[in-house]
Amino acid sequence: MKKAICLSALSLFLLGGRTVAQETKNAVININANEKVGDISPMFYGLMTEEINYSYDGGLYAELLRNRAFKDNDTKLDHWSLVQEGTSVGQIALDSVEQKGTALNRNLRLDIVSTDGKGRIGIANDGFWGIPVKANTKYTASFYAKTDADFKGTLTVAIESNDGKTVYVDAKVAKVNGDWRKYSVVLNTGKVEETTNARFIITTKQTGAIWFSLVSLFPPTYNNRPNGNRKDIMELLADMKPGFLRFPGGNYLQSKKLETRFDWKLTLGDISQRPTHDNNSWGYHSSDGMGIMEFLGWCEDLKMESILAVFDGLLLSRRSALSLDSLKPYVQDALDEIEFVNGDASTKWGAVRVKLGHPKPYNVKYIEVGNEDFFDRVGKTWDARYTLFYDAIKAKYPNINVISSAHVKTRMPDFEDIHDYFSYKKALGLAHKFDRYKRSDAKVFEGEWACREGVPTTNMLAALGDAAFLTGMERNADIVKMSCYAPLFVNVNPKAMQWKSDLIGYDAGSSYGSPSYYLQKTFSENIGDQSVKSSIENVPMAADTTEQLFYSVTKNSKSGTLFLKIVNVSDTTQSVNIEIKSDKTILPEGEEIVLTSDKVTDTNSITDPKKIVPVSGVAKGLGKHFTYSFKPHSVTVLRMGAKS
Ligand code: AHR
């Protein structure tokens, strides 16, 4: 980047047809590197997640079949169809034969009435907007089946094109007959042409009746976890180096009805033990493949702290919560949940976890009470409900941080979860929200925030708004301790999105980060452990008097490295004078990382995933007093090394 050398610049503008030279003053950022404002928490940047926009089913959770337990629709076999070739005749129907000892009480019944010996007959699943096929990849298919006395045959399991003409991979399952049994088969693709537009089928050429339940297909998962996550999306998350994961919601925690809340006890154990539930918060069924232990495994995989939200009686009707005197079982449920995640084998719920294959306690240190409890507009009992949960949790687990999801007065929460969704225009004002924040209030957890510009994922304008807001949080790290953007995920296929402007987009085959993703990744990779004293003068203003320049400064207290973040939202290059007071020498050469794009409406997508990414270069001419130029519509991080 070009370095400006003078304190002020001459700009030319037209006045009554004459060109006039006018002096404009550079903005000045004063940094006192010796004076700490606050400690930056290692959990400053984290992740927030819930089942929205097909975040897990059709997203992070690697299962490839949709409606695998036949529970998505009570009357129809959504996403399943009959395969019928030649003159073979058959039919499929939704049935409900119970399987003892499991939660599987729905099945697909296939009746093969007649076959011509050549034409296949069977069932097909179209996945979450297609089944992806990758070359040289191992897929694991499994299903439960029972047959009538007539069927004693072989089934062929395959992934093939929708017209059945190209078989990418297939394998036989012999001797399928008798009572309920689980069958598994491995499908190894070779050198196939990759696609996201395939179907999964199970076919035969023999007559009889077969009942299927829980039909599943998994590709390889991140860290090879059984029932695990998609590799590509986990890699994008790992690159962000998040400090924590907030789960399981969001609205997904609560839902519209008590019976459809996220009931953690119903998400334990093998997937055949999970009843699944209606995710009526976001309008589709949840397989509950992502259960409480999968969330915790995800935290282990990415070395994140868990922020576990517990249901506290507020339902999504958003008018009132369950009455205070009916909350006892839910307080107990929260205590059980904490015992499950943290208890040892001598405790009732700790022993359940041990039995499920995780002897070591997860050591969860953060519990959030509810979600957006202030939406309890009629009853307004959030203070009383928080108090109930807080007192019960602290009595048993005094060291656990208990987060409130509304502003409460009766107890001082360890953190208050505050949510901010805003437009680009609002972002510029919100950049100062925490400058004015009452320091005597609870420490802040920005548990959901986003500048909502761009669909389905955000654009460069959103990244500028995000950056302005984040600089405000970093500057006020004495009060803001944790932050996480929401929503994290969106499946980009039509009708998959319920909430626009999301961080990471994907289809069945690939995923990408939005400009907001790259912005956060850059910010979280370039942050010290302290925010330091700073001020700005001569802030450039737009005609409507909105500020055009935002900044934050943080310091690594061990090395002395300063991280100066500058957000130039104007459409002109801004020269800024940097004045640093420090007991160390600032090295003349450092690093600059710039995120920008030609148009603010530019974005990343499945077909152009890296159109907007941060670009690193050498920053020259640094010192205690220097001037630096910042591109129009850009976010720049200057990493400035220091020595004693
Ligand atoms: O992030 C989308 C939704 O916004 C969350 O589920 C809810 O907590 C908030 O209102």
With CA atoms as reference, report the closest residue to 272 among 61, 68, 95, 51: 68
Backbone angles phi, psi at 424, to 5 degrees: -60, -45
- What predicted TM-score, i.e. pTM, was given to this entire model? 0.96
CB-hemisphere CA count at 13 Å for 183? 25
What's the rounded mean pLDDT across residues 518-523? 98
What's the rounded mean pLDDT across residues 230-236? 98
pLDDT tens digit string along 375-395?
Answer: 998 899 999 999 999 999 999
- Does pLDDT of 112 surpass 80? yes
For the domain made up of 80-218, give the CATH fold.
Jelly Rolls (2.60.120)
Considering the segment(s) 45-62+227-515 as one domain, its CATH architecture is: Alpha-Beta Barrel (3.20)
- Does pLDDT of 156 surpass 50? yes
What residues does each domain of the chain span?
A: 19-39+528-643, 45-62+227-515, 80-218
Query: Looking at ligand 1, which residue's alpha carbon is closest to its atom 4?
Result: 250
- Give the atom of ligand 1 at the shortest distance from the alpha carbon of 421: 4
Lowest mean pLDDT among 5-9, 195-199, 503-507: 5-9
Q: What is the pLDDT of residue 640?
A: 98
Ligand 1 pocket: which of 421, 445, 489 to mutate (most atoms <8 Å of CB)?
A: 421
Instruction: Please report which confidence band the pLDDT of residue 8 belongs to, taking 50, 70 and 90 as the band edges.
Output: very low
In angstroms, what is the span from residue 489 Cα to ligand 1's centroid?
13
Q: What is the pLDDT of residue 24?
A: 73
Q: What is the pLDDT of residue 314?
A: 96
Over its C-alpha atoms, the chain yields an Rg (Å, rounded) of: 28
What's the rounded mean pLDDT across residues 141-169? 97
Burial state string for 129-153 with b = 16 or more CB within 10 A and e = fewer than 16:
bbbbbbeebebebbbbbbbeeebeb
CB-hemisphere CA count at 13 Å for 630? 31
- Give the atom of ligand 1 at the shortest distance from the alpha carbon of 252: 6
Q: How far is CA 384 from CA 389, 408, 442, in A?
A: 9, 9, 17
With CA atoms as reference, report the closest residue to 477 among 540, 402, 565, 580: 565
What's the rounded mean pLDDT across residues 232-260? 97
- Give the atom of ligand 1 at the shortest distance from the alpha carbon of 375: 10
What's the rounded mean pLDDT across residues 37-57? 98
- Does pLDDT of 4 surpass 70? no
pLDDT tens digit string along 417-465?
Answer: 999 999 999 999 999 999 999 999 999 999 999 999 999 999 999 999 9
More confident residue, 153 or 370: 370
Instruction: Please report which confidence band the pLDDT of residue 320 belongs to, taking 50, 70 and 90 as the band edges.
Output: confident
What lines the ligand 1 site, CB under 6 Å? Answer: 50, 52, 249-251, 371-372, 448, 486-487, 499
- Does pLDDT of 182 surpass 80? yes
Q: What is the pLDDT of residue 15?
A: 37
How does the average pLDDT of the chain come out, rounded? 95
Considering the segment(s) 19-39+528-643 as one domain, its CATH architecture is: Sandwich (2.60)
Query: Looking at ligand 1, which residue's alpha carbon is closest to its atom 9?
Result: 250
In angstroms, what is the span from residue 69 Cα to ligand 1's centroid?
27
- Give the atom of ligand 1 at the shortest distance from the alpha carbon of 419: 9
* Fold agreement between 19-39+528-643 and 80-218: no
Six-digit token string for 13: 């503008």
Q: Yes or no: say if 50 and 253 are a contact pair by the CB < 8 Å rule.
A: yes
- Give the atom of ligand 1 at the shortest distance from the alpha carbon of 448: 1
Amino acid at site 22: Q
In angstroms, what is the span from residue 251 Cα to ligand 1's centroid?
6
